[in-house]
């Protein structure tokens, strides 16, 4: 029993370290963009691709690699992903030009997809249902901490050590994860072993999702975005038609049509990320441009949210082992909705304690939602679909991030036009931020009903047989 407990603990530490890497890298680069632009004399378009290429590659390959891992083994794909992430992180730090940096970022994003497509699936395979909420809570806390600490730690490293240091830190962490994976992960966990791989479906899915997400994320900057959006939707429609006829699809659509819990839990995740991801972006503008804080001060203020999330997510996950996940997650969504609507009252005279208290409220809401929602997703499928379930949830996160940032930038552009933020009228910028919070609050309100509609899930008191 002690050996089993040690194996579980080592598995949790290994997966948790890997789960920190990918969101941290995604968000830490935001603060390094000016320095990268100065070093390479890069255009604004090239710099936007330094960020976008990573997210697009991660999203496009999550589901295909999740399905591949279900067939050939999750440990193989996980270790390959971490090793690839380490190699291409090193090459990003050493990139001789911005074009090569973008190429390495794409390859790094593919490695990230292998990690995210398998991480939760491995945890779900190792831990029985009655412990699943707790460990997924720890994992979710790590993901959110990576997303939220990225700008703070990334900004400090960029300022003191140069932007390549962000990549080198990720190399060190990922090498440690590779070593731990080879020595600690004692299993392969191929739930769909022997089934064929739907390569046509994988290609259609990846191309369609890239076109769709590019169209969404560039709608404010590119006249071609509408055509990419339409093409992406058309390709995804062909993908759905193909999947309905395939014996072993890359994405089993029956999980959505025949599994209410799975479908509504993923929809709730999409809505939650769409409504909340841009909060940090909006508040960083508000704190720096409207209230006059510098970037380091703003980063410290914004820490109020991830600290509470990191502390409370494991408890929220454990609670969802005892109380139905939809109840806990719906309360979390409700608190998030309240917090978003409270931020509608921001002004140029708002005291900082008001911002800090509401960030704490949002942190509690996010924690109560994310871990139980992940528990509901993973608990609603059988072991052969753990990789797909993990990948689908990760895809909801990435698509939601793109949608959230698109909504925020569209609203700001409507109010202040195409001017640099530091030259924008403070009053108009404040109004645009308040309007964005109204839209996000209404979106999150709809998410409460999606969260409640999912039905109950078997949190179980008996371990599943794997």
Which CA distances in Å does 439 have to 106, 404, 407?
32, 10, 9
pLDDT band at 203 (very low <50, low <70, confident <90, very high): very high
Domain 2-197+248-452 in this protein, CATH class: mainly alpha
Mean pLDDT for 204-227 is 84
**Domain spans of the chain, in order of start:** 2-197+248-452, 198-247
* Residue 264 confidence (pLDDT) above 60: yes
Q: What is the pTM assigned to this prediction? A: 0.79
In this structure, of 258-262, 369-373, 375-379, 459-463, the range with the lowest mean pLDDT score is 459-463
Q: Give the confidence band of 464 by pLDDT, cuts at 50, 70, 90.
A: very low
Burial 221-248 (b: 16+ CB within 10 A, else e): eeeebeebbebbeebbeebbebbeeeee
pLDDT tens digits, one per residue of 309-342: 878 888 888 887 888 888 888 999 999 999 999 9
């Amino acid at each position: 029993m002690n050996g089993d407990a040690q194996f579980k603990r080592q598995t949790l530490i290994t997966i948790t370290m890997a789960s920190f890497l990918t969101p941290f890298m995604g968000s830490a680069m935001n603060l390094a963009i000016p320095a990268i632009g100065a070093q390479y004399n890069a255009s604004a378009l090239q710099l936007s691709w330094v960020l976008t290429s990573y997210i697009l590659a991660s999203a496009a390959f999550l589901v295909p690699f999740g399905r591949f891992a279900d067939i050939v083994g999750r440990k193989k794909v996980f270790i390959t992903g971490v090793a690839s992430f380490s190699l291409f992180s090193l090459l990003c730090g050493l990139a001789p030009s911005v074009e090569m940096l973008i190429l390495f970022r794409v390859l790094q994003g593919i490695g990230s997809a292998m990690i995210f497509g398998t991480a939760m699936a491995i945890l779900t395979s190792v831990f029985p249902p009655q412990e699943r909420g707790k460990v997924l809570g720890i994992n979710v806390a790590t993901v959110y901490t990576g997303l939220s600490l990225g700008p703070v730690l990334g900004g400090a490293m960029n300022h003191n050590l140069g932007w390549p240091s962000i990549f080198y830190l990720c190399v060190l962490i990922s090498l440690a994860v590779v070593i731990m994976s080879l020595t600690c992960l004692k299993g392969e966990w191929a739930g769909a072993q022997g089934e064929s791989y739907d390569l046509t479906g994988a290609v259609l899915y990846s191309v369609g999702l890239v076109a769709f997400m590019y169209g969404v994320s560039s709608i404010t900057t590119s006249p071609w975005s509408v055509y990419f959006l339409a093409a992406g939707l058309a390709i995804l429609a062909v993908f759905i038609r193909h999947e309905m006829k395939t014996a072993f699809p890359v994405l089993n659509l029956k999980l959505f049509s025949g599994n209410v819990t799975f479908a509504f839990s993923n929809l709730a995740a999409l809505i939650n990320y769409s409504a909340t991801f841009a909060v940090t972006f909006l508040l960083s503008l508000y704190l720096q441009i409207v209230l006059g804080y510098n970037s380091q001060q703003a980063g410290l203020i914004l820490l109020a949210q991830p600290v509470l999330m990191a502390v409370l997510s494991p408890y929220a996950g454990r609670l969802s082992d005892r109380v139905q996940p939809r109840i806990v997650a719906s309360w979390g969504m409700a608190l998030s909705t309240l917090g978003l609507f409270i931020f509608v009252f921001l002004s140029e005279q708002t005291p900082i304690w008001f911002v800090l208290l509401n960030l704490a409220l949002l942190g509690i809401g996010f924690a109560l939602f994310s871990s139980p929602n992940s528990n509901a997703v993973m608990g609603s499928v059988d072991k052969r679909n753990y990789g797909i379930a993990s990948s689908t949830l990760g895809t909801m996160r990435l698509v939601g991030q793109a949608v959230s940032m698109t909504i925020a930038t569209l609203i700001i552009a409507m109010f202040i036009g195409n001017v640099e933020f530091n030259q924008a009228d403070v009053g108009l910028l404040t109004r645009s931020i308040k309007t964005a919070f109204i839209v996000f609050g209404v979106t999150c309100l709809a998410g409460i009903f999606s969260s409640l509609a999912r039905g109950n899930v078997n949190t179980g008191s008996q371990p599943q047989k794997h």
